[in-house]
Structure 1
Amino acid sequence: MTPAALALVLLAGGCGVPSLADLPLPGGAPSGPGYRVTAEFADVLDLVERAAVKVDDVTVGSVEEISLDGWTAKVRLRIGRDVRLPANATAAVRQTSLLGEKFVAVSAPATEAARGTLADGATIPLVRTKRGAEVEEVLAALGLLLNGGGLAQLKTINEELGTALDGREAEAKDALRQLDAFVGGLDAQKADLVRAIDALDRLTGRLNRQKAVVGDALDALGPGITVLARQREQLTAALNALGDLGKVGNRVVEASKDDTVASLRALQPILDQLAEAGDALPRSLDFMLSYPFPPNVTGAIVGDFVNLSITADLDAATILSNLVVAAPPPANAAPRGPSAPPPPAPGGREAPRPGARPALPGQLPPLCLPLDGILPPRWVPPDECDLPEGCELLRPGSPVPLGALVVPANGRLPQGTVFPEGTRLAAGTILTVRCLLDPVTGAVEGIVGGVGDLLGGRP
């Protein structure tokens, strides 16, 4: 039967012949409810309408329409209603086999987290679409490599590499092992390297923000560097002279080392005496500047006169209480001692000689003490200079009574005891409270008598 006769037979069939649009195409999706999505492509290759739309190699829809908007191809996809895709889904034009048909693969993003839901009327933009490589492009690239590409160079490289490693296999293997250990160390310190790179990035960012300040600082360094460059010869000569001075100083120190050590050793007793003198030396120097008057009265001396200031408490009630109400102390009462004064600062070694000054009221006469002013640990006063009643010298380490005085480490007794100031005792010796003198205040404790006695001031 000729083609013309066949055509007549088909035309005679009338409307019973299906149209091309009604014929099923390979890969098409089954009919049913769905939603439509538009994907933008830079190149759709030979993709045709009714091509399959796949998710994970499963056909879920078909291509309804392909249109062109400028240099961008817009492909309208129809996807089954039961297929759920994220709003940031990606699309790609792929091929079923080497010579197979094209289809559109829709999938969740691989480089970011999925978010939202792909809804009807949504658009997959150009930045989230791509296409696969064509067979022609792969063959063209292969032909470029084979026809004057890099095969000859690869052969040369292979031969030279074999020549370089010939006979050095052990060294090459050792180098590879060291490289493997190095790469392993880098991998173990990956977190530290990342932190270092992040810190370097922050530093670079700060330097970039302070670029103007750094530029001004560099500009300001210019004149200084210029001056240093001009004075380079002088600086070099100064450094050379300093080196020579160091050599001379070293020679002088080596030559005078013994004499210097001897001088320092001879100076040690003097320094010890100065240390023991404490604040006595600066006080004596202060008194020397105002001799023969003490330093605290120099401000009161005007010419040949001395200003005197007296403060008198003339409260009548206090005066009458002191003169009339207070009873006189008993005749046989021993001196009352204050609480133990704080230890004085270390003084000189030598105690003042007894008899250098008269004893204060209530003190022992200087002649009652040994001539050197030092009391032995178990010293007993002579009969003619008995200690006051209740005054005892307790050996070091004994329990300290209330108000007693402990002899300081230098052994010198401070002012305010029945012994002259500067008397030496064994360190730690305890003086009971009856060995201490009452502080001198100038207060009148009481006067008893008639008006004549009060006016006469008889105590």
Structure 2
Amino acid sequence: MKRVLATVAIGCLTLAGCSSGEFKGVYDLPLPGGADLGDHPYSVTVQFADVLDLVPQAAVKVGDVPVGRVREVRLGGDGWTAETVVEVNGDVVLPANAVARLRQSSLLGEKFVELAPPDAAAKPAAAGRLANGATITLDRTNRNPEFEEIFGALSLLLNGGGIGQLQTINRELSKVMDGNEAQIRSFLSGVDTLMTDLDAHRSDITEALDGLNRLSATLEHRHEQVSGALTDLTPGLQALSEQRTQLVSMLQSLDRLSTVATDVVDRSRDDMVADLRALAPILGQLAAAGKNLPQSLQMLPTFPFPDSVLGAVKGDYINAYASMIPAPGVPLPPPGQGVPPGLPTLPLPSSGTRVSSGGS
């Protein structure tokens, strides 16, 4: 029986080497119970920051179901990233932005690559499908912590870590909180109110941040203008800096002037109030004159003639009405008989003026 099994194993090795053309060792042997790749498998390159001890022929799973295997593990072109080439059954459909995780079957079990759609809450699945030759980049891969890493961190914590200080921390927290329950409760209530208000004004905060973003973008587009303005301000600021002593002296002089002016106003306040009170009757009479005063002032330049004579032209006619009252004891002549002796004559206006007279 053992001889038959050995013969079968040798035959399998021979077939594997013949089918691939070159036998590279035990990594070329498919694992028993591996996934069926089907007639048309497709290959995908997966980038990992740390591939750990993943080996070729390891399983590739989707939802804990084997759908492929690892064909090759190699170093990336940047010299830091590990690249894993996996083959997946052609009937398995994954979105174009599928993610990959390096997991292990049990606590001390073998490593395998898990393919899955992206988390719907973080990023929705893409419309296309994962195609042959696609690459799952480093930002869409991760790995679970190793068992050795967990025990190493636990050992660091237990040996010289922070366990010994937990009692001290607990004791100091008790001292702080003992007797200050009301203040702590008030503080937590204030924090709750603050967070509630911030949440209520979330849209305003977002709008303010958007406004700052727009302002920053505008300033970025006007970088040359801002730089030019700052450059042009430099001589002015330099001049102000050089004249700082004179500016300070001017401000001090203004301070002394204001002090003197305040003292003068305080001392002359009573006299000023008395003068204003003395002006009050005059201003009252001027106000009572109303519109008569402006009309009288209009007559002053042309006295004794009104404004109508201003439009007269030399040689034209102007109607003037004059009333003459004779002196006491001087009789008036009958109409049409001239001027009696002793009565002064009224000089007539210049040529071209018609004067109408009447007596009373």
Q: TM-score, normalised by structure 1?
A: 0.54
Residues 1:114 and 2:125 aligned together: yes
Residues 1:29 and 2:35 aligned together: yes
CA offsets, 1:104-162, max 9 Å, x none? 12233444443332211212233433322222222222323332233445543333222
Name the amino acid aligned to 1:68.
L
CA offsets, 1:375-400, max 9 Å, x none? xxxxxxxxxxxxxxxxxxxxxxxxxx
CA offsets, 1:183-221, max 9 Å, x none? 211121122122222323333444552244235425522
Could you say which residue in structure 1 is the equivalent of 2:239?
223
Could you say which residue in structure 2 is the equivalent of 1:145?
157
Q: Is the 8 A contact 1:35 1:79 kept in 2?
A: yes
Please give the alpha-carbon distance, in whole angstroms, between the structure 1 residues aligned to 2:227 and 2:56.
Answer: 58
Name the amino acid aligned to 1:119.
A
Equivalent residue pairs, number:
295
Alpha-carbon distance change, 223 to 205 in structure 1, aligned in 2, over 3 angstroms: farther
CA offsets, 1:30-67, max 9 Å, x none? 34243221212232111123333233444433323323
Please give the alpha-carbon distance, in whole angstroms, between the structure 2 residues aligned to 1:217 and 1:229.
Answer: 20
Name the amino acid aligned to 1:201.
N
Aligned 1:24-423 pairs, distance under 5 A: 24-25=32-33, 28-32=34-38, 33-70=40-77, 71=79, 72-110=81-119, 111-115=122-126, 116-207=128-219, 209=223, 210-217=226-233, 220-253=236-269, 255-257=271-273, 259-271=275-287, 273=289, 275-276=291-292, 280=295, 283-284=298-299, 357=321
**Structure 2, gaps ≥5 residues long:** 14-25, 324-360
CA offsets, 1:412-459, max 9 Å, x none? xxxxxxxxxxxxxxxxxxxxxxxxxxxxxxxxxxxxxxxxxxxxxxxx
Q: Is the 8 A contact 2:60 2:69 kept in 1?
A: yes
Alpha-carbon distance change, 14 to 104 in structure 1, aligned in 2, over 3 angstroms: closer
CA offsets, 1:292-334, max 9 Å, x none? 996667xx8xxxxx699xxxxxxxxxxxxxxxxxxxxxxxxxx
Please give the alpha-carbon distance, in whole angstroms, between the structure 2 residues aligned to 1:219 and 1:135.
Answer: 68
Let me know the Cα RMSD of the aligned residues.
3.8
Where is the helix percentage greater, Structure 1 or Structure 2? Answer: 2
Please give the alpha-carbon distance, in whole angstroms, between the structure 2 residues aligned to 1:161 and 1:286.
Answer: 100
Q: Is the 8 A contact 1:87 1:119 kept in 2?
A: yes
Q: Is the 8 A contact 1:91 1:107 kept in 2?
A: yes
Name the amino acid aligned to 1:66.
V
Alpha-carbon distance change, 38 to 269 in structure 1, aligned in 2, over 3 angstroms: same
Of all paired residues, the percent bearing the same amino acid is 37
Q: Is the 8 A contact 2:37 2:90 kept in 1?
A: no
Please give the alpha-carbon distance, in whole angstroms, between the structure 2 residues aligned to 1:175 and 1:258.
Answer: 64
Q: Is the 8 A contact 1:286 1:295 kept in 2?
A: no
Q: Is the 8 A contact 1:30 1:61 kept in 2?
A: yes
Name the amino acid aligned to 1:114.
A
Q: Is the 8 A contact 2:37 2:87 kept in 1?
A: no
Q: Is the 8 A contact 2:63 2:116 kept in 1?
A: yes
